[in-house]
Amino acid sequence: MTMKKVRVLVLICSTRPGAIGPAIAQWFIDTVSPLGATLGVELVPVPLRDLDLPFLDEEEHPASGVYQHQHTRDWSAMVEAADGFIMITPEYNYGMPAALKNALDYLSREWAWKPVGFVSYGNTSAGTRSVQHAKQVATTLRLVPLGATVAIRIADTMENGSVRASKRLDASASSVMSELARLAHTLRPLREAAQSTATPGPLPGSYARRLTVDDAAEVAVLQRCCWVDEAIACQTLMIPALHETLDDVRAGLQDWSATGLWRDGRLLGMVRARREDDAWNIGRLAVVPDLRGAGVGRWLLRHAEAAADPDCETAVLSTGARSERNIRLYRSEGFEQTSGSHGDDIIHFTKHRAIDGLTLSTL
């Protein structure tokens, strides 16, 4: 359901002057771009020659993520931002080009849990031995090779420096594109969980990260699931979370700092917060119905409190007057009821900054 585009780097792996790699890469991009647009894939050509990476010159092991040189940091950022790769590679003496091996060796975690497809070219073997060589290195880096490949035999395929029209090759290219898009979506939870910005969650295999506008669809579904029970308990359908459009949800994700708890690609819960005057306003605490009572809501609430600006004097939140589960949770976490409104349909809670010698910023 995610609306985030899949960013795919098309790596042109030969650095030799006059190489046909750029022409093959252009053919591939032109061929699969219409399908890629349908699948939500953004194709970015990256000639390794333009990177001008020297032979690996970092003192620390790539797994450390400690990079001394700007060219390494630039390459790291480029790979980190990608969701998958297509490698346009020739075969040199039964193997991949040295420039490709060097580019792979520079990094470590940036490659993990991302699909990689191959478009190889050569003479006798159509570059397939280069692909077999590259796959050994790719899997060690936790890249996930596709089953589908494109193998181009130069003598049968190239004409005047371009790829000759071929339904067979076009179909192979489309198969690579389709499989890569599916794998990129499937592997996204593993990539997110491995990112340095992810926080381990309270359940095995779960992690928390900030929600963005790309998560609007998942957030909308979670809200509908959770606030139906709220509507039943409070005997009213006049609950904003039940009526928001995707545009409304996107706007909320931009206006609030929202955190989502994920596992295996499923949004398990969420909470949002923002500063309003001297108060830290917490809202939209939601947990999927099948995990209520497992401590997820309490963990999310404490996570939201811990993110408070240090100089906020209080944390505030509200809930329906008949939402007994919510009321018990908030009271057990030290919130005190301060007022009601709209005929006492909604009640408000406040938690002062100083609680048992702790502050909101250290909870």
Give the Cα separation of 176 and 118 in Å (integer).
8
Per residue in 174-213, is it b (16+ CB within 10 Å) or e — as a string? bbbbbbbbebbbebbbebebeeeebeebbbeebbbbebeb
Q: How many CB atoms lie within 10 A of CB 158?
A: 17
The domain made up of 200-362 is a member of CATH 3.40.50.300: no
Minimum mean pLDDT range among 114-123, 129-138, 184-193: 184-193
Q: Encode pLDDT of 181-240 as tens digits.
A: 999 999 998 888 877 678 899 999 899 999 999 899 999 999 988 877 776 766 666 677
Q: What is the CATH number of domain 6-193?
A: 3.40.50.360
What is the widest separation between alpha-carbon atoms in the chain?
A: 82
Mean pLDDT to the nearest integer, 245-249 = 91
User: What pLDDT does 235 receive?
Assistant: 67
**pLDDT at residue 159 tops 80:** yes
Q: Encode pLDDT of 51-65 as tens digits.
A: 999 999 999 999 998
Q: What proportion of the chain, given as a percentage, has pLDDT over 90?
A: 72
Mean pLDDT to the nearest integer, 279-293 = 93
Q: Encode pLDDT of 311-353 as tens digits.
A: 888 999 988 888 888 899 999 999 998 876 545 678 899 998 6
Give the Cα separation of 303 and 301 in Å (integer).
5
Question: pLDDT confidence of 137, banded at 50, 70, 90?
Answer: very high
Give the Cα separation of 353 and 314 in Å (integer).
5
Same fold, 6-193 and 200-362: no
Give the Cα separation of 148 and 11 in Å (integer).
17
Of 58, 55, 143, 63, the closest CA to residue 101 belongs to 55
Q: How far is CA 360 from the centre of its chain?
A: 29
Average pLDDT, the chain: 90
Q: What proportion of the chain, given as a percentage, has pLDDT over 70?
A: 93
User: What pLDDT does 196 receive?
Assistant: 65
User: What pLDDT does 94 receive?
Assistant: 94
User: What pLDDT does 216 receive?
Assistant: 92
Minimum mean pLDDT range among 33-42, 189-198, 305-314, 354-363: 354-363
- Is pTM beyond 0.75? Reply is no
Segments making up each domain of the chain, as ranges = 6-193, 200-362
User: What pLDDT does 359 receive?
Assistant: 44
Q: Which is higher by pLDDT, 289 or 242?
A: 289
User: What pLDDT does 214 receive?
Assistant: 87
